[in-house]
Amino acid sequence: MAGAAVAAGVAAALLAWFGFILVEWYVATGATAAVPLMMRNHAKVFTRTCYVVGVGLLIWSVLGAMFLMLWFLPAALLLLVAAFADAGNRPGAWFAAITPLAAVAAAVAMVDF
C-alpha cells in the first residue's frame, strides 16, 4: 500500500515537472524495458528479446538525451549483457549483426527531414 502511494506521488511529481507528454514517454520506455521479463521461461526467446530491447533502448536513450532519457542507459547495458550471459544460448552472428543495423535504420526513418 505504501509503495503504491510513493509511486503515485512520483508519477504526480513527474507529471507536474515534465508535462504529460514526457511522462507518457517515460512510462512507455519503462514498459518496453520490462518486456524481457515476460519471456524468462523460454531461454532462447529471452536472450533475443533482451538483445533487441537492449539495442533499441540504447539508441532511444542516446537520442532522447535532451529529454533525460539517459536514465534508461544502465537498463539498456544490463539487457545487452543479459543477452550474452549464457554461453550455450547466445544470439547468432547474423542476429547480432542485423539487429543494431535495423535499430539504426528505424531511428533514421523516424527522423523528420
List Cβ neighbours of 50 (8 Å cut-off, separation of 6 or more): 36, 79, 80, 82, 83
Give the 3-state DSSP-derived string for 66-107, with helices as H, strands as E and coil as C: HHCHHHHHHHHHHHHHHHCCCCCCCCCHHHHHHHHHHHHHHH
Query: Does residue 79 form part of some domain?
Result: yes
Query: Does residue 6 form part of some domain?
Result: no
Query: Does residue 101 form part of some domain?
Result: yes
The structural domain count of the chain equals 1
What is the domain range of residue 63? 20-110
Query: Does residue 13 form part of some domain?
Result: no
Q: Looking at the whole model, is its pTM more than 0.75?
A: no
Query: Does residue 98 form part of some domain?
Result: yes
Model pLDDT for residues 35-59, shown as the tens digit of each residue: 888 888 888 888 888 888 888 888 8
Query: Does residue 51 form part of some domain?
Result: yes
d(CA 65, CA 15): 18
pLDDT along the chain (113 residues), means of 10: 67 68 78 84 85 86 79 84 77 77 76 62
User: Which among 58, 60, 59, 51 is positioned nearest to 95, based on CA atoms?
Assistant: 51
Query: Does residue 1 form part of some domain?
Result: no
